A = this chain, B = another copy of it.
Amino acid sequence: MPRRSPRVEAVALPDHLEPGQLSGKVAVVIDVLRATTTIVRALESGASCVLPVASIEGARMLAHDREGSLLCGERGGIPPEGFALGNSPREYDTDAVGGRACVLSTTNGTRAMHMATGAHEVLIGSITNAHALCAHLISDGRDVVLVCSGTDRRVSLEDCIGAGGIVEGLTGFEADDSALLMLRAMRGATEAHGSLQAAVASSFHAKRLADLGFRDDVALAAELGGAGLVPVFDQATGEITPL
């Protein structure tokens, strides 16, 4: 008997997940600006793992307990006192993070990862690792739910665009209306603005980051598929490592 096509659906916020919606499926958490982009970059640069934490205080405590870890994160564009790195993916090079565990304070991305823990597996998605991610999901063949993180419980266009890029790459999957919404929005925004980078830069959050001096981060986060790595969030240990 031929197996049915795997399905892909999407939520614009983790709050939109229905009870049981993730059961037996792969959840892909997306926070394009900037948590999941930064996580992909940190692991590419050889970080041993990333530990996402919602609060600055929680990050301080976790880093204190974990010898040799790097304390990472920002508030209002500036790393708090005692933090080694901010949230800019461009900071996460091999010199900075190679071989180290990164304790990363990020509100929206952490919240989305923890709200996705009913899934069979929680993967980390960004525009930068979309190709590797889609290749893995196609080979895996399970149903997929794309979980956009949003910003402060509001829908973020850049996460929806990221989700649309992943839907586009999922050859052979059946996309429901929620996934088609993301795919059409990604293509429509790319068409309206002339490029994927300009589409991402049109989002509210991208404009705020540009005002804070992080325009290059927005450009980096919109580079499709350069990163050949799929991070997985271990629901038991809270660690993110490459698959």
Contact = CB atoms under 8 A, between A and B. Distances in A.
A11 to B, nearest CB: 9
B154 A178 contact: yes
B191 A178 contact: no
Interface stretch (A103-111, A182-190, A222-230): A182-190
Given A16-B13, A16-B16, A177 B155 contact: yes
B184 A188 contact: yes
Contacts of A184: 157, 184-186, 188-189, 192, 199
A22 interface: no
A177 B156 contact: yes
A18 interface: yes
Nearest to A202: B180
B153 A181 contact: no
Nearest to A16: B16
Contact of A177 (B16, B180, B183, B203): B203
A38 B16 CA distance: 28
The 5 closest A-B pairs by CB, nearest first: A188-B188, A184-B188, A157-B177, A187-B188, A155-B178
Given A157-B181, A176-B204, A191-B191, 10 more contacts: A12-B12, A12-B16, A18-B153, A154-B176, A154-B178, A157-B180, A160-B177, A183-B188, A184-B189, A188-B191
20 contacts: A12-B178, A15-B16, A154-B176, A154-B178, A155-B177, A156-B177, A157-B180, A157-B181, A157-B184, A160-B177, A177-B204, A180-B189, A184-B186, A185-B185, A186-B188, A187-B188, A187-B191, A187-B192, A188-B188, A188-B189
